Copies of this chain bind each other. A is one copy, B any other.
Amino acid sequence: MIIVMNPRAGEEAIRRISTRLEEMGYRIHRSTGENRTILGVIGQRREEVAQTLEALPEVEKVVYISRPFKLVGREFHPDDTVIRLGEVAIGGPKLAVMAGPCAVEGEEQLLESAWAVKSAGAQILRAGAFKPRTSPYSFQGLEWKGLEMLSRVREETGLLIVTEVMDQFTVKDLAACVDILQVGTRNMQNFYLLRELGKIRKPVLLKRGMSATIEEWLMAAEYIMSGGNYQVILCERGIRTFEPYTRNTLDLSAVPLIKQLSHLPVIVDPSHATGKAELVPAMSRAAVACGADGLMIEVHPRPAEALSDGPQSLNPEQFTRLMEDLKGVARSVGRYV
């Protein structure tokens, strides 16, 4: 942490602040420039201390040197984390593909989707039983009934299941019947939920908040890991920008950047990012090409009858073709589907 003193800060103030920080256990390196004095503060990063200092009129700004995250960082954990679920590994050379409908609409639709994505090569079925919807007048999901259907389809097809968890009170019940718990974009900073997810021992798929910086996103993963659950999968799903042609702007640079900063696996959801089924194949290929460990793709047996997100869903035939297409790109970066 570096403290840049105000040009008008006097000697007395500089000494007072230095002394106070030394009493808190920090070591101080003072550097006196032409216009400003700068204090290098050596020791553990603590936001409270920084904020307190910034509130002083004699301080111009406080600059952080170290990253705020620890457990998610690659600095002290240089090897990639690989999350294993039976025969499926997320973060290894084989791409993890999660596919399925936006929402569980009924057992038949779910089963049909499951067999379709399985036969095309997906290992994990995605489908929401609890649906966050912008309008109170929209379909809100089948909730617990939907969850039961997911359990039955899991047993019947042998697919792993990922589904969204909406609050801290349902974490344990969901963890008992699905394989991966998904935190949606609106919940990325629901800190009570994150803390509860830190207590379980099941993988968590953490979607990026639609206006979250990469640092905030990694800090959300830090919440889960600081509770003792190290199985976190990050999922880039587009950020909010001024561009209206796509639903969100898919930030693929986040993939290689996170690979530098963190050891956690990263997957990409091109369906929510673009909101347009016709862009999904191209963006899936791009995601694999820049190093994503997997994909999350919306597939619906009949998109034009979907109760939500139809325009961004592939039909089974399109999905099968995409899985074929991905083989070449995967091979070119040393991976396989």
Q: A85 within 8 Å of B by Cβ?
A: no
B48 touches A308 (CB 8 A): yes
A40 touches B48 (CB 8 A): no
A289 touches B38 (CB 8 A): no
Question: Which of A46, A75, A311, A331 counts the most chain B CB atoms within 10 A?
Answer: A311
Q: A216 within 8 Å of B by Cβ?
A: yes
Interface segment out of the listed A27-35, A90-98, A145-153: A27-35
Known: A166-B192, A253-B283, A328-B332. A40 touches B47 (CB 8 A): no
Q: How many copies does the complex hold?
A: 4
A251 touches B253 (CB 8 A): no
Interface residues of A, dominant DSSP: mixed
Interface string of A283-318 (1 = CB under 8 A from B): 101111111000000000001111111110100000
Q: Which residues of B contact A135 (CB under 8 A)?
A: 47, 68, 219, 222
| Interface set of A (CB-CB < 8 Å, partner B) | 2, 4, 7, 29, 31, 33-36, 38, 40, 42-43, 46-48, 51-56, 63, 65-66, 68, 75, 132-140, 166-169, 186-187, 189-192, 194-195, 210-211, 213-216, 219, 222-223, 226, 239-246, 249-257, 260, 273-274, 276-279, 282-283, 285-291, 303-311, 313, 327-329, 331-333
Q: Name 24 interchain pairs, CB-CB below 8 A, sorted by A.
A: A31-B31, A33-B65, A38-B65, A47-B134, A47-B135, A52-B306, A68-B137, A134-B189, A135-B219, A136-B195, A137-B226, A211-B242, A213-B243, A244-B244, A249-B249, A250-B252, A250-B253, A252-B283, A253-B279, A257-B279, A282-B291, A285-B290, A329-B329, A329-B333
